[in-house]
Amino acid sequence: MKIETLFFGITADLVATNNLEITISDNSSVNDFKMLLKEKYPQLENINSYAIAVNEEYAENDLLLKESDVVAIIPPVSGG
């Protein structure tokens, strides 16, 4: 199934785009998706420190993804 993936901040720089369509297996969880991203884009090695949102809501690792979901990869934000 196809998942639209949005990248923000440093993650967009690391993958050289701010959105991709990624094909994953049916019944994949957010954790499976993160592992696939790390495999395809090793520069995202710290993906476990990023927030993941699915359809504009923060998601836990065990959430199952569905066809046409929109997944956002959001790096930690710091400021002062």
CATH of the domain at 64: 3.10.20.30
pLDDT given for residue 49 in this prediction: 86
Q: Would you say residue 25 lies in a domain? A: yes
Q: Name the pTM for this structure.
A: 0.89
Q: Is residue 41 part of a domain?
A: yes
pLDDT (mean) for 51-59: 96
Tell me whether residue 11 is in a domain: yes
- What percentage of residues in the chain have a pLDDT greater than 90? 84
Give the gyration radius of the chain's Cα atoms. Answer: 12
Which class for 27: exposed (0-12), middle (13-18), buried (19 or more C-beta within 10 A)?
exposed
For the cut 70, the answer to whether the pLDDT of residue 69 exceeds it is yes
Outline where the chain has alpha helix (H).
10-15, 30-40
The pLDDT assigned to 29 comes to: 97
Q: How many domains does the chain have?
A: 1
In a domain, 80, yes or no: no
